[in-house]
Each structure stands twice: as structure tokens, then as C-alpha cells.
A and B are shown apart, each in its own frame.
Chain A
Amino acid sequence: MPEPSLRSSLVPWLRLFARRRRRLVLGTLLLAITHASAVGLLALSGWFITASALTGLALAAGLAVSLDVYVPGGGIRFFALSRTVSRYGERFYNHDTVLRFLADLRSRLFAVLARLDERSLARQRASDWLNRLTADIDTLDSLFLRLLAPPLVALLAVLLVAALLSLWLPWVGIVVATVLLFAWGWLTLGQAWLGMSASRRQVAHLQRLRGQLVEHLQGQAELEAYASQGWHRRHIEEQEARLQHDQRFLARWAGFGVALVNLTVGLAMLAALWLAALAWQQEAIGGAVMVMMPLAVLACGEALALLPMAFTHLGATRGAADRLNALVRAGEAVSTSGSEPLPAGPLSLCLHNVSLSYPDALEPALSGIDLSLASGRRLALSGASGAGKSSVAALVARRLPPSEGEIVLGGVPLAHVDERALRERVALLGQRVDLFQGSLAANLRLAAPRASEAELWQALAWVALDDWARDLPSGLETPVGEGGRALSGGQARRVALARLWLRDPGLVILDEPFAGLDADTVARIKPRLDAWLAGRSAIYLVHQLDGGDFDPPGITHEARLEQGKLTDCANHGHPSG
């Protein structure tokens, strides 16, 4: 794949920024006022002191001269105040803007993630990836304050000072502008070019290091047993050395940029002083103006000061943008659904010669699966972990497209089914149960947003959680999920089951429905589940059927998966359980 250009990496995000153009302009303006005040303060002060000294000397010599001290004095006080006020206003206003971007960025990316299929999500579910995602969002979030506003304001400051000097001596303005614009170009483009690849590699280096450390910690037993901890440590240290090599490189060049700011501003100051002195000798300008010129140049150094650090590390922002762009592309690559509705009542299901392969696996996850389930029947699909049960569930719930073969649901090819209809008519209880931060009621209403409180209590009663919930001090409003009340694995599973009950699916897929539940609870819930499943089709995914109390109710078919292939099918003459 060709490397995306810097422009194509950043443009999608800049476009997002453009939506808040007015805030950007105002924020940049405030920043510019801060710097202009700094220039004004120092330049006017220098002018005033020199004018005072010259007037003082003239007075001492007995000349009748006078200096208006009130206008410059007032100006100095004004700039002192405007610099403080605009600095405060700028920081406050721009942080507000940044936080608004954060909201935009997060919701935009969430919408992208919401389109990803099971495979992309599974690859990215690792906590490491989530951390990187938030870090990437934060990196892009600070784009404006680090990479957009400062160069713009620095450019404005340079042009402003040059224009100011040109009022008296146009060629001083031109010389200063030339030197400082060259510096500006180097500090932005040059520093970015220097640091690009090293700063882009940073995240990859850190991630590699992190991966190796996780290996080191998780494999500590084996490494210690084989006395190879030192051997593995050396690998880690090599990776750390690569990381630090780049960090050292970046620090040197960023430091170079910082030094360069002061050097070029100093040299521009020197040039302005020399030229102004020449003009003064030719009596083209007064002494006070001659002093004001180098001081104005000196004061605009502050506007350039932030550039080298930010631009040397531009590659980090580019890397973040590239990763998020890849995510957006993955979301766009997922095929959109069809528009056909599903019939009412129980749904039949047919898999014709279905295979599923993951790109980096040696063997297909599923191969040549032929399976059919008449409406209203219940299939128990058993197999060891890794045999492919979850892949079957993901295919049937259209969380993944099959690599080969066709799936027909309720007489409609699965790929043609309307998304909303599919989600309403096919319910899946997976191995993982997701409870969200929020109240118990909010977690239940995920399944049925308009459900009344009475219905929620009914749902809880159905999974035998109503007594437990009634004992909670806040009842349905009890916060659950991370940061809330920790539910046991069994309770969480029952809440997830209650969520299914609140819907009216025609096909229900249950992965180990009774996992983590005790025998008493299973005995209470099993007949209710049996009754609710009447008039629906069902697929149970189980490790092993043993004919005991934990087998799900009313199995009509059995099939066994081994390493992605169906091995035997037995039809039960009568429902068991």
C-alpha cells in the first residue's frame, strides 16, 4: 500500500475543524492580540525610555523641549493590561474550542466504530488498542492548539512587526521579514521534515515495547524455568534502545529548533538595529524610533517559540491521523445491508456450504458447513472452545460475511435482509456480556427503549432477579457496569437474558445460556426459557451436552463442530429437558 501523503492524512480531520471556522478565527485572533500586545509593550517602552533620555538631556542642556508623557504612559499601561487579558481570554476560549473538537471527534469515531464488523472489532477489542485510540483522538484534538494556531499567529506576528517597521523604514521591514520568514519556514516545514519518520515511529516503538513486556510478564514462568529471562530482557532492551535512539534524535533536533528561534530573532534584531542606526546617522529617523525597532523584533520571538517542539513531532500527529483514517476505511469497507423484510413468527435458517477464513490463520475457522433449521426447531451446536461455534453465531447474526457459501434466513438471503429487521428478529446472547455504565433500567432499556417500569420488573422476574433488585436501595436506578455496582457473572448473564426477553425475536442464538448460574437458578429459569422459546427458532452453542440439568431446554437437533467442520448430526425424536 502506498504511503498516504501528509496532506491526505490530515485533510479529513482539518475538514472536521473547518466546521467551527468562526471559533478558530476568533481564537487565533485572541492569540495574535496577546503577541501584538507583547510587541507593543516592549517597543513602546523602549521608545518612551529613549525619548525620555533624549528629552532629559536636551532639558539639561537648557533647550526648551517637552515630551508628552501621558499618551505613551497610557499606551504602556494599556498593552500591559491587554496582554494579560487577551492571554487569559485566549487560553480559556481556545480550550473551550478544543473540548468542542473532542466531542466532535469522539462521536465521529464512535459512528465509524459502530459500522465495524465482528472481525475488525475482535482485533481491536484489546485494551491496548482502546488506549491507543483515545491517545490518537487526544493527539488530533490538540492539532489546533499545537499545529494550526501557533504557525498562523507566528506568521501574523512576523508580518505585523515587519509592517510596523516599514512605516518608518520599508527596507528594514523587508530585511526583518526575510530573515524571520525564512526562520518560520524552517521551524515549521524544516523541523517537520527532519523529525517526520522518527516521530512517526514513536507509537510503533512504544507499542512493540509494550507487547514485549506483556510477553515477558505473562511468560515469566516459562522464561524463569528455562533461565531465559536475561535472553528475553536483552530483546526488550534492544527495543528500548531503538525507542531511545529516536527520542534522542528528536530531542536534539527539537533543541536545535528552540536555539534557532533565539538565534534568528537575535540576528534579525541585530540587522534591524544596524539598519536603523544607519538611518539615524542619516537623520532619517529619530533616536527613539531607532531603539524601538530592534525591541519590536525581539518581542516577536515569543510567537515563534512554540513552533520547533510541535513541528518536530508532527509525525506523531500524522501517525494518529493515519491510524484513525484506516479505521474509517475499515468502517466504509463493511458492506451495507439490504432492504428486504423478514417474515413474522419463527425463522428458518439454512447454511449452504459455508466457509469462513481469517486472513492470518493457517486453517479456515469454518469449512463446508451445511446446516438447516426448520422454523420453531432448536439446534444444539456443541464443540470445544475454538471449534468454531462463535463463528457460526457471528455469521448467522451477520456480524461477519461468510468467505464462501450462502446463508438464508426466513427464506431471505441473509445479505439482503434489512438491518433493522435483522436486529429486531434475531437475538444473540454471546459469551461476553456487555453491561454499560448506567442504571440497571438503562441497561435493560437498551433492548426496548420504550419499555415501562412494570415491563422491566417483569423481565427481571423472568430471570429471577426481581427479589434481588427490589432489595437494592435504588432499585432499577442502581448504577451497574464499571464504576457502578459490580454484578456477579451469573447476574450479568441473567440481565442479558432479560434484555432478550424484552424483544420479540424469531431466531434466538444462546451461547452457553446457563454459564455461571447455580443449579437452583437454572431450575427456575429453564422452564421459563422453554416457554418463551415456543414459537421461535433457537440455536444453542454448548461445550458439551451431558443430558443433565444444565442442558438447555427442548433440543430438537444436535450437531457437533470439530476444528471448523461439522462431524455428526443426530435428530432427537423428542424434546429433552
Chain B
Amino acid sequence: MNDDAHRPTPRRWLAAHAAGQRGWLALAALAGFGAGAATVAQMGLLAWIVSGMLIAGATLGELGETFALLAGVLALRALSQWGQEVAGQEASLRIRQRVRAELLDHLAALGPVRAGERHSGGLASQLVEQVEALDGYFARFLPQLRLAVAVPLLILGVVLWLDWLAALFLLLAAPLIPLFMALIGMGAERLNREQFVAVSRLSGHFLDRVRGIATLQLFHRTAEATAEVHRAADRYRLLSLRTLRVAFLSSAVLEFFASVAIAMVAIYVGFGLLGYIDYGPADELTLFSGLLVLLLAPEFFQPLRSLAQHYHDRAAALGAADGMLALLAEPVHRADPQPLVGGKGLVALEAATLSHPGRGRVVGPLNVVVQAGEVVVVTGPSGAGKSALLQLLAGFVAPDEGQRLTRPELAIAWMDQRPLLIHGSLADNLRLAAPEASDSELSQALERARLGELLAALPEGLDTRLGEGGVGLSGGQAQRVALARVFLSRAPLVLLDEPTASLDEDTEARVVESLRALAAEGRALVIATHHPALMAMAGRHLRLTAAGLPANVEEGADA
């Protein structure tokens, strides 16, 4: 149901999110319209004062109230503008929060295996930079899009009431507005596309050289590379100037029309007032109507010019949305497991297979039952699907065929070659497995994972911060932190994927010792490994056959 045919277009998806914050977006547009109306009022009062003094001969004293009203309108206009900014930003903040949550929910639903097929750095940049790239679209472009229609219409109405011929000038420009929009759009989009290609090529060149800087140092070639970086940036400059020359034309056209409209209105009104024009409404022109038409002419084009400034926000949002939709379109297959009732079985796979995109079937069909308290060792050449078997048992991925059954409410503990270390204290890192655990329980778990020495050596004990800006743990120590979590968790089923890979012999021996202690607690262990010391722990041994073939499970009690 989540296939490509049903995938919404980026535009529709953005619109759906906008609909979710209809209130704030409407408020932003309304405030913007209020500011537009206040501008019209401001210009009207200005023209009224001028005409009142010069034509009607009113004194400043008589116009005092009008001045006060004008000051009030100015304040109202400022308030509306502030409201537009704040409401637009509020909508954008809320939408960005919601989009991030939507993406995270989807990744959680996909599970560690399917989500893990993507590069975590790339995903994180989608969740941070790409989500932030939606800002301008919701905060500024969308409200401005409505204003670009509403405010010119309002102004046109006022001008029409003042002088229909002047309105005709603006109206003549009005059919040109969609043309402007297209021009701007084309210009901006082309600018964006070409700039994007050129920028990414240039950044690529720069990053390529930075990444390899150690090699350049070793070959003593950094001076040449520096000159080359400059040359590449200069080539990029010449290239993008060619694009910009054309792209800036579209905004120049808009600028030109806005300027010419003012000039035309000024000359028309001036000549009309002088009585040089004796057709149409020109002889009815007054200083008030003439001045107001002049003052409103630039305001007629202003919303469009603002829109042009925000046009690249739209392109950026569409680009970001496209990437996010590709992620959201990935189908979710995981469902609740069937209950496994009776006996000592904790989890079972029945005729389960698993395929990875581009690699075909990686494991299965498998029939496995893990009993409470037993130690199962899984071996096989690399690529035989040992990890896949563990992932299926854990329920991290749904079998493509067959099914997984578990004891209801089964808790599991997991440990693989890349243990998770979160940014935070050592205690935070342990409580991840047991949020309620007391400090003494944490120390005990560390002790059992053979990290007691480390704990004693740490300056701030359990409160020591790990990772960036804190203490760096070696690979072996990180592995044992993950093991301490297993001890803390009390889960009856422990799944271990190559728990001792990339450890030196000494550390490996310590980990094996800890795992024995874990088995002695009566927990069921399923261990995928190559290491003889771990294989020796096996109560039961599953061998998977070589890569590429559907794996068969051979069961034997030997090691």
C-alpha cells in the first residue's frame, strides 16, 4: 500500500503539512494582508494631508488628528509585520518538528535492519539539514504566495476607484504577473539547479582534496594542491557567472517593470493634472488621487518582489521533500509476532527466509527454536547469514517468508560489534538498558562485565562523560559497556553478534569469561561467532552453509 504509485508528490506532501498548521499560516497571511492594508491606509493619509494642506488650505493644527491617525496606522502596520514574521516562523517550527517526528517514526517502524541499510550520516543529515531546509518555504514563501495575490488585488481595487486609466496601467502589468512569476521561477529554478550542480562539484573537489590531505602531505604536494584549490574555485566562478548573467535578468525585468510603472504613473498623473490629457478620467484627477496612485504603484509590485526573493526557498523545500519522500515510501513489513505457547521455547522461526535488496536471499528457510537457558552458537563462513539469523530472532526485521513466534512480552538483550555509546555519562549509557537501575546495580553490572578497574580509574565514576569532549573508550572497553548493559537488562534471551570480533586476545578472554557468567544466570544465549573460545560454550551448535546458498541448519550438540 506504500508503493510508488501512492507516493505523494513533494508538492502535495508539503501542502499536507501546511494544512496541519493551517491556523498559524492563515494568521501569517492575515497579518501580512493587514500590513498591506495598513500600507494603503498610510499612503492614503499621507496623500490626504498633502492635498488637505496644498489644495483645501487646511492648517497643520486642523490636520493634527490625521497626523495622529497616521502614526497609529504606522504602529498597526509594524505590529502586523511582526505578527506575520512570528506566525510564519511558528508554523515552520511546528511543521519541522512534526516532519522530524514522522521520519523518526518511520525509521523506527522500518527497524534496525531496513533502516540500517542506509548510511546513518546521510539519514542524520536528512533529519537535520534537510528538515531545516523546509524553514523558508513554510515561514516565508507560503504566506508570501497568498500575499502576492491578495495585496496587489487590494491595491488594484483602490486605484480603480481613484482612476481607472491608472488602474489599467497596473492591470496591463497584471497579465504579465504570471509571466513574471514564470520568469522568476524559471530563472530561480535554473539558477538553483545549475548552481547546485556547480556548487556540489566544487565542494566535491575541495572535500576530495581535504579528505586526502594526509596523502598530499606524505608526497609533499600540499603547495600545488593549494594552488589547485584556488584554480578550481576560480573556474567555478567563471562558470557560475555565465549562469548568473541570465538568471539575474529575470529579477531585473521585475525591477524594470516596477520602476517603469512608477515613472508612467507619475508622468500620466502629472500630465493629467496639468490638463494635457483630455480623454478618460484624467481630468478628474486631483492631487489626492494622483499622489495616492503614485504611492501605491510601487506597493503593487512589492509583494511580488518579496516572493521572488523567497523563491529559492521553494526549490530548496521541494528538493528536501523529494529525498524525505523516498525514505517514507520505503514499505514497512514488520508486524507483531505470533505467540509461542507452551514448553520452554522463547522464540522460534518457522520456515523463515530473509532477502536483502540487490543481494537476493541471504538466509533461510530456517526452522529454529531457542529454549530458555540454553547456549546456542551460530557459525558459518562470512556471508552465510549469521547476522541475519540473529536479526530475525530479535524481530529487527520481518521474515520475507515464514514467520517468527515469541513467548508473549519477551524481553531481549542485544550486543553486536559496534556497541552504541550515547553522548552522556557512563550511567546514562548503562541506564539505556534499565532506566530504573540504582547506582549500585550499575557498578555491579560493570564489575561483572570486567569493567570494575575502569570504573575505579574514571575521575568522576559513573558520572564521567563519554565520547566527544569526555573520555574516549577503546573498542574493547566500549564492547564491555555493552556487555554491562546485557547484565543489567535481566532479559531471558541474549543475542550476541560477533561479540569478540576486533578485540585483542586478552580482552576477548575477559569477555568470554563474562559471557559464561551470563549463561550461568540461566539466560539463553545465541552467539554468532568464529572464535573457538566462544564456540566451546555451545550447548547447541547451528552451522550455516556458505554464502549465496540457502542456508540449512545443522543441529548438533558438539562444539
Contacts and interface: CB of A to CB of B under 8 A. Distances in A.
Interface of A: 41-42, 44-46, 48-57, 59-60, 67, 69, 72-73, 76-77, 79-81, 83-84, 87-88, 91-92, 95-96, 99-100, 102-104, 106-107, 110-111, 113-114, 116, 118, 121, 125, 127-128, 130-131, 133-134, 206, 208-229, 231-233, 235-236, 240, 244, 247-248, 251-252, 254-256, 258-260, 262-263, 266-267, 269-270, 273-274, 277-278, 280-281, 287, 290-291, 294-295, 358, 360-363, 383-387, 397, 399, 419-420, 423-424, 427-428, 430, 432, 434-437, 446-447, 449, 481-483, 499, 562-563
Given A45-B262, A273-B46, 18 more contacts: A52-B290, A69-B276, A102-B233, A102-B237, A103-B230, A114-B223, A121-B214, A213-B124, A217-B120, A225-B412, A226-B414, A227-B411, A229-B108, A255-B84, A360-B472, A383-B504, A562-B504, A563-B506
A383 B507 CA distance: 13
A121 B108 CA distance: 34
Contacts of A54: 54, 287
A83 B255 contact: yes
A106 B81 CA distance: 39
Interface stretch (B264-272, B439-447, B530-538): B264-272
Nearest to B239: A99
B207 A130 contact: yes
A47 to B, nearest CB: 10
Contacts of B266: 44-45, 48-49, 76
Contacts of B422: 212, 215, 219, 232, 235
B75 A222 contact: no
A381 B78 CA distance: 73
Interface string B281-325: 000001100110011001000000000000000000000000000
B222 A111 contact: yes
Contacts of A437: 204-205, 208
A254 B92 CA distance: 15
A206 B100 CA distance: 13
Contacts of B290: 49, 52-53
- Interface centre among B81, B86, B208, B263, by most chain A C-beta atoms within 10 angstroms, is B263
By Cβ-Cβ distance, the 6 closest A-B pairs, closest first, are A219-B420, A255-B85, A434-B212, A103-B233, A114-B222, A45-B266
A104 B231 CA distance: 10
Interface string B190-220: 0000000000000111111111111111111
B82 A259 contact: yes
B469 to A, nearest CB: 8
B208 to A, nearest CB: 5
A106 B233 contact: yes
B86 A226 contact: no
B210 A57 contact: no
A130 B206 CA distance: 10
B37 interface: no
A427 B457 CA distance: 39
Nearest to A263: B78
Given A218-B420, A233-B104, A255-B82, A69 B271 contact: yes
A187 to B, nearest CB: 13
Nearest to B257: A84
B82 A99 contact: no
Contact of A221 (B270, B298, B394): B394
Contact of A263 (B74, B424, B432, B458): B74
B124 A248 contact: no
A217 B115 contact: yes
A496 B214 CA distance: 13
B134 to A, nearest CB: 13
Contact of B394 (A67, A73, A225): A225
A50 B82 contact: no
Most chain B C-beta atoms within 10 Å of own C-beta, residue among A80, A483, A562: A80
B270 A69 contact: yes
8 contacts: A221-B394, A222-B432, A222-B485, A226-B491, A228-B433, A255-B89, A259-B81, A436-B212
B111 A213 contact: no
A231 B263 CA distance: 64
Given A103-B233, A384-B503, A434-B211, A291 B42 contact: no
A266 B77 contact: yes
Contact of A81 (B79, B82, B259, B454): B259
A209 B128 contact: yes
Interface stretch (B240-248, B378-386, B510-518, B550-558): B240-248
Nearest to B476: A386
B504 to A, nearest CB: 4
Main secondary structure of the interface of B (DSSP, over half): helix
A291 B50 CA distance: 7
Given A73-B267, A221-B396, A258-B85, A57 B104 contact: no
Given A46-B291, A73-B267, A248-B93, A53 B78 contact: no
A563 B506 CA distance: 10
A459 B79 CA distance: 73
B70 A270 contact: yes
B475 A482 contact: no
A107 to B, nearest CB: 4
B208 A436 contact: yes
Contacts of B224: 449
Nearest to B235: A103
B217 A49 contact: no
B423 interface: yes
B97 A263 contact: no
A56 B108 contact: no
Contacts of B502: 384-386
Nearest to A228: B432
A114 B229 CA distance: 12
Given A57-B55, A134-B203, A217-B123, A111 B85 contact: no
A559 to B, nearest CB: 15
Given A41-B263, A263-B78, A220 B115 contact: yes
B85 A222 contact: no
Contacts of B469: 360
B236 interface: yes
A295 B418 CA distance: 68
Nearest to A543: B502
Nearest to A104: B230
B221 interface: yes
A100 B471 CA distance: 42
Contacts of B411: 227
Nearest to A250: B89
Contacts of B9: none
Given A99-B236, A99-B237, A362-B454, A84 B256 contact: yes
Contacts of A424: 220
A525 to B, nearest CB: 21
A449 B245 CA distance: 38
B97 A240 contact: yes
Contacts of A121: 213-214
A55 B230 CA distance: 63
A226 B436 CA distance: 13
Contact of B220 (A209, A211, A423): A423
B245 A92 contact: yes
B219 A56 contact: no
Contacts of A49: 266, 269-270, 273, 287, 290-291, 294
Contact of B214 (A106, A267, A278, A434): A434
A259 B206 contact: no
B473 to A, nearest CB: 8
Contacts of B368: none
Contacts of A41: 259, 262-263
Contact of B78 (A45, A227, A260): A260
A399 B97 CA distance: 44
Interface in B99-138: 100, 104, 107-108, 111-112, 115-116, 120-121, 123-125, 127-129, 132
B548 interface: no
B19 to A, nearest CB: 21
B93 A423 contact: no
A113 B473 CA distance: 27
